[in-house]
Amino acid sequence: MLAKRIIPCLDIKDGRTVKGVNFVNLRDAGDPVELGAKYSLAGADELVFLDITATHERRKTLADLARDIARHLNIPFTIGGGIKSLTDVDVLLDAGADKVSINSAAVRRPELIDELAYAFGNQFVVVAVDARMVGGEWYVHLNGGRIKTTHRLYDWVGEAQERGAGEILFTSMDHDGTKAGFATEALARMSEQLSIPIIASGGAGNKEHFADVFTRGKADAGLAASIFHFGEVSIGELKTYLVGEGIAVRPVD
Residues 6 or more apart whose CB falls under 8 angstroms from that of 41 comprise none
Catalytic-residue membership of 11 = yes
Burial 114-140 (b: 16+ CB within 10 A, else e): ebbbeebebebbbbbbbbbeeeeebbb
* 46 to 43, 78, 144, 213, 240: CA distances (angstroms): 9, 8, 22, 17, 17
Collapsed DSSP state (helix, strand, coil) of residue 190: helix
C-alpha–C-alpha distance, residues 96 and 20, integer Å: 28
Residue 71: Cβ within 10 Å count: 10
State the DSSP H helix or E strand holding residue 92, giving kind and residue range, or none if neither.
helix 86-94
Closest by CA position to 222, among listed 240, 244, 238, 246: 238
C-alpha–C-alpha distance, residues 171 and 94, integer Å: 27
- In the set 11, 45, 176, 212, the catalytic residue is 11
- In the set 51, 88, 130, 212, the catalytic residue is 130
Q: So which residues are the catalytic ones?
A: 11, 130
